[in-house]
Chain A
Amino acid sequence: MSRDEIFEGVQDIFRDIFDEDNLVLEDTTNSDSIEEWDSLNHINLVSAIEKEFKIKFALGELMGLKNVGDMINLMIEKSNE
């Protein structure tokens, strides 16, 4: 799966969770960029990504992420493991 395909899939998950069909993600998008991106929605995002992409994150891996781009890069790294 290419980076663009992963990005598209993650964007669909964000649109679903934040109930915003026109939401457009950038690599730099972070929790400051989306008002409803609170701790609970963060957990929901991670759960949805794990289920959709069939990967599992460890807490330590998630703690260092600063934005969507970091998440996508981690997903690529894990899919190559």
Chain B
Amino acid sequence: MNEYMFSDITIGLEASFDVTIDSSKMSMFLEICNDTNPLHMCGEYARSKGFSEKVVHGLLTSSFYSTLVGVHLPGKYCVLHGIDIKFIQPVYIQDKLVVSGKVKYINEAYRQIEIRALIVNQHGKKVSTATIRVGVKDE
């Protein structure tokens, strides 16, 4: 886990990590939120709606934005203030994703930083983007 202090953070500071979405992650997420929409449960239904296979929950994929800030950037001293997410492409089971973020703005007075983040799949396509606001509580 990274431990960036507020004073370490500069505009442009970046972090990234890889993750593969396997069926066990999807099962665990389903157990937590119980979103049983057929788009996530039934391949045949998903295909009838124009998708290649059943679609991974957008908020499961987006949960890695939490990991990005809580573990990588800034890491230990992060307090999540807010997040705006745009979903761009569907994610399927076994997709290999790269989650990355870069510091775009620093509020010195209140020690808040804004991170522009994105998730890209194994085909190089953006599956989502996010603007994440976090406080850095290193005091």
Contacts and interface: CB of A to CB of B under 8 A. Distances in A.
B102 interface: no
Interface string B100-130: 0000010111101010000000000000000
B81 A56 contact: no
Contacts of A47: 105, 107, 110, 112, 114, 133
Interface in B1-47: none
Contacts of B107: 43, 46-47, 50
Contacts of A58: 108-109
B133 to A, nearest CB: 7
**From DSSP, what is the main secondary structure of chain B's interface residues?**
strand
Interface string A50-65: 1100001111011000
- Sorting the interface of chain A by its residue count into under 10, 10 to 19, 20 to 34 or 35 or more gives 10 to 19
A43 B137 CA distance: 14
Interface string A36-52: 00001011101100110
A44 B109 contact: no
Nearest to B109: A59
Interface of B: 81-82, 105, 107-110, 112, 114, 133, 135
Interface of A: 40, 42-44, 46-47, 50-51, 56-59, 61-62
